[in-house]
Amino acid sequence: MKPVDFDLHQPATLDAALGLLARHGDDARVLAGGQSLVPLLNFRLARPGHVVDIGCVAGLGDLRETPGGLMIGAMVRQARAERAPAVAARCPLLAAALPWIAHPPIRARGTVCGSLAHADPAAELPSVAVALDATFVAMSARGRREIPAAGFYQAYLTTALRPDELLAAVRFPAATPGTGAAFGEVSRRRGDFAMAGVAAQVTLEDGAIADARICLSGVAGVPLRCAGSEQALLGTRADLAVLRRAASAALDILDPADDLHATAGYRRHVAGVLLRRAVAEAYRRAAR
């Protein structure tokens, strides 16, 4: 398959890119790394009249530390973030998740913000953003607004971004001392989208969990934050009984669908196992 005909725009400035989005609205799509959009175009699941390639827009490739965390621009490739010392030091959950994305050639082209904006609930990065309460920086010709991760994902492949907006950057909060993180998923083959995945991060004080963040992927139409599981972990040392309670709290809110790849029951089981393993690993890393 090949895409339907469209006009390709390659603006050199952010203002020009935003002007194109303002002019064409729902009939335009943003192209960054292309690892999500191009397959949709080729299968004709997306039929825009205009594609706005932001690869030449200056200023969108910044990956920098801020006083409160980490700012990642729209054109930062996943492979670059994976190798960045600042990501490993300030955002260990993001660092743990990035190697799980597809394969190295995909990460060499795909962008962090592109994956977040595509909003596939089986992808790794949306669950990390929701778990960490990341902030999405949206830009349009009308101005700038910041969207909390809790309100960004609205339904399958649907976000709070408006048709004329570009996800210009995402801001992750810095992990505090005593923090450990882990990511895990199960897929039919290494690099496929997950049938179930979990992002887990804990912060310890005097050996006990003072903060816990858990989000499931691949089991619902949006990344699924597990507040009950987080609450079950607070004040504990993540022993086996605690891990079982945390997994049970997640399963209480979990209602996945059957599909060609896995039954609902299998997804529920795998999600519980992954949650226990990821939290245990995050606790071990925090306690080092």
Q: Is the pLDDT of residue 255 over 80?
A: yes
Q: Is the pLDDT of residue 45 over 70?
A: yes
Q: Is the pLDDT of residue 193 over 90?
A: no
Query: Crossing angle of helices 240-252/264-287, nearest 10°?
Result: 140
In CATH, the architecture of 63-173 is 2-Layer Sandwich (3.30)
| pLDDT (0 to 100) of residue 3 | 86
| pLDDT (0 to 100) of residue 190 | 85
How far from each other are the two terminal CA atoms of the chain, in whole angstroms?
51
| pLDDT (0 to 100) of residue 191 | 85
Q: Is the pLDDT of residue 38 over 80?
A: yes
Contacts of 118 (CB under 8 A, 6+ apart): 36, 37, 157
- pLDDT, mean of residues 130-156: 98
How much is the mean pLDDT over the chain? Answer: 96
Each residue of 200-227: pLDDT tens digit?
999 999 999 999 999 999 999 999 999 9
Q: Which residues pair with 201 in a beta bridge?
A: 181, 213
Q: What is the DSSP string of 16-62?
A: HHHHHHHHHGGGEEEESS-TTHHHHHHTTS---SEEEE-TT-TT---
Look up the CATH number of domain 7-53: 3.30.43.10
Q: Is the pLDDT of residue 32 over 70?
A: yes
User: What is the model's pTM?
Assistant: 0.96
Q: In the chain, count of helices (H) and strands (E)?
A: 11, 14
User: Of 166, 158, 100, 86, whose CA–CA distance to 128 is shortest?
Assistant: 100
Contact present, 212 and 234 (Cβ < 8 Å):
yes
| pLDDT (0 to 100) of residue 97 | 98
Q: Which DSSP category does 221 fall into?
A: S
Domain ranges of the chain: 7-53, 63-173, 181-287
Fold assignment, 181-287: Enolase-like; domain 1 (3.30.390)
Each residue of 74-111: pLDDT tens digit?
999 999 999 999 999 999 999 999 999 999 999 999 99
| pLDDT (0 to 100) of residue 1 | 65
